[in-house]
Structure formats: structure tokens, C-alpha cells
């Protein structure tokens, strides 16, 4: 038996970039995805802490392999493994609905729950800039709006 190299071929029109910060536009809808990484940063423009999560689309099709960001408002935390958010925040509500769990504390939300699980995520298109002005079609991009549920 001889060994060979596997060749990766493109499935569709979406180009998969090595730069995870480069905006990508895919068709809005629900996709199967896994979380790639996360971090909390202070955003000086919005003057708040933002949780940035990256998700890789693993559903076969034209968007397979695309990495999309998701942003959520959170509170400052010194922890490297948990996140702090308000009771009425989008992130905390999404977390409880996705993992079907009622959290006892809002200051120790474990991000490890996202490790090694297959998620159903909702993807949306960003068509306006921060000033509410419409973006040209070439500048529009996609992001994960929320995690809907754990598939496995």
C-alpha cells in the first residue's frame, strides 16, 4: 500500500482564508459549527468589554470550513476560563438556552462548555456600518448571531 497526499478542493464560491479576521460573506441561515477560540477585549470605540468567539462552519456545502466571528457584550473579568455577563445579556440568555441549563452565578460562566461540542448557529449578514449607513455589497459580511442548540 502506498501513501499519498490528500488534496483539498474547493466546494463552492466561498474562499477560505487563513486570516480569521478577514470578513467573509455567506448565505444567512442556520449551520452546524464548532467554536474555534474566544477572548474578551476592551473595545474603546464602544467603551465596553466584548466577547469575541470564532466558529468554524463544518456543515458540508459552499460554506464548509469558513470561520465566522460572534460578538457579545460582557463584563470585565480577570479569569482566563470563565466569562462574566449580566442576567439580561444576550450572551447569558443564549448560553442558558443553548446548553439548557439555569446558571446560579452570572460571574462564572464556563467557556469550556463550548469545547468539543457540535453547535447549531444562526448566521446573519451585516449590511450597515456602525453609523447606520448601508454597506456596499462588496463590503457586507457575515457573523454568528447566536448559538441555537448543542447537536452533540
What average pLDDT does range 83-91 have in this prediction?
A: 96
pLDDT band at residue 46 using 50, 70 and 90 as cut-offs: confident
Name the pTM for this structure: 0.85
Residue indicated by cell numbers 476560563: 81
Q: Which residues contact 139 (CB under 8 A, 6 or more apart)?
A: 23
Short-list 21, 68, 27, 76, CA closest to 47 = 76
Domain ranges of the chain: 34-150
Amino acid at each position: 500500500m502506498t501513501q499519498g497526499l490528500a488534496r483539498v478542493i474547493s466546494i463552492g464560491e466561498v474562499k477560505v482564508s487563513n486570516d480569521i479576521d478577514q470578513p467573509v460573506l455567506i448565505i444567512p441561515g442556520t449551520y452546524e459549527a464548532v467554536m474555534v477560540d474566544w477572548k474578551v477585549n476592551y473595545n474603546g470605540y464602544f467603551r465596553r468589554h466584548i466577547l469575541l468567539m470564532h466558529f468554524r462552519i463544518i456543515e458540508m456545502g459552499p460554506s464548509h470550513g469558513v470561520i465566522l466571528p460572534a460578538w457579545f457584550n460582557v463584563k470585565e473579568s480577570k479569569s482566563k476560563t470563565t466569562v462574566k455577563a449580566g442576567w439580561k445579556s444576550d450572551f447569558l440568555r443564549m448560553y442558558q438556552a443553548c446548553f439548557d441549563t439555569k446558571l446560579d452565578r452570572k460571574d462564572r460562566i464556563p467557556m469550556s462548555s463550548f469545547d468539543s461540542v457540535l453547535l447549531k448557529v444562526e448566521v446573519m449578514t451585516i449590511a450597515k456600518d456602525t453609523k447606520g449607513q448601508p454597506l456596499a455589497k462588496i463590503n457586507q459580511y457575515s457573523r454568528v448571531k447566536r448559538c441555537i442548540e448543542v447537536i452533540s
